[in-house]
Structure 1
């Protein structure tokens, strides 16, 4: 099966209820400059929904926040295949929120280097959760 690099409508995390549940009951992990909130539930078919965010405290201008969010979405889109494959294989409904936590604009090559580490660490955590609770 070839890798799908799309980031379609059903993959975007937009539901307020899902976001509130994620922040209330989800777990976190960090790979600087990204903090990941995630929640996995058993489901009939494996799905992944992801959202991105940047704090307005350090980035006052919306154009800066939008640029960082665009970079986060693009790098997630390119590296999400392992996460999607795990969700399908284990039958998990995974909700993920990527938060940029650095105080400065990202360098050109930082996020492409860090996103594979973020996804790898997230897949490892989800795999451990799935094997602990079959």
Structure 2
């Protein structure tokens, strides 16, 4: 399946779920970028199988910041939405490295809610920096 310019999906294949990959991401070799309140942890690894997506994303919002699940879920939804609409450049960059896979974790670091426009701007800033570094 080739992504087109209008393909704004964030399907199950793009979710970072495998425990082995998550452990690999947080093993200490990964790189970190921050655009407050988003912290991005990323690692480029060799693709394990051909079916896996070139970029896999995991979103984390700690209970320490929001006790209520409703607020945590709202923030996670905002982050996923911001990523989904702005991932094209990243996908194009990863398409140039067909045997590699990008593991990406977005971690929330603030105790208060932010509006979606601000989150979109921060996500865009982080993704631009990530594309430059790859």
TM-score per shorter chain, which class?
A: 0.7 to 0.9
Residue 100, structure 1, aligned to residue 88, structure 2: no
| Structure with higher helix content | 1
Q: Counterpart of 1:97 in 2: which secondary structure? A: strand
Q: Following the alignment from structure 1 to structure 2, what is the Cα–Cα distance between the partners of residues 39 and 108?
A: 26
Residue 116, structure 1, aligned to residue 124, structure 2: yes
Q: Which runs of 5+ in 2 are unaligned?
A: none
Q: State the partner residue of 1:129.
A: none
Taking the TM superposition and a 5 Å limit, the aligned residue runs for 1:69-108 are 69-91=76-98, 92-108=100-116
Superposition deviation, residue 17 in structure 1: 1.4
Q: Following the alignment from structure 1 to structure 2, what is the Cα–Cα distance between the partners of residues 15 and 42?
A: 15
Q: Following the alignment from structure 1 to structure 2, what is the Cα–Cα distance between the partners of residues 103 and 58?
A: 4
Superposition deviation, residue 8 in structure 1: 0.9
- TM-score normalised to the size of structure 2? 0.86
- Native 8 Å contact 1:38 1:94 kept in 2: yes
Q: Counterpart of 2:110 in 1: which secondary structure? A: coil
Q: Following the alignment from structure 2 to structure 1, what is the Cα–Cα distance between the partners of residues 66 and 121?
A: 22
- TM-score normalised to the size of structure 1? 0.86
What count of residue pairs does the alignment treat as equivalent?
126
Q: Counterpart of 1:30 in 2: which secondary structure? A: strand
Give the RMSD, CA atoms, in angstroms: 1.7
Q: Counterpart of 2:96 in 1: which secondary structure? A: helix
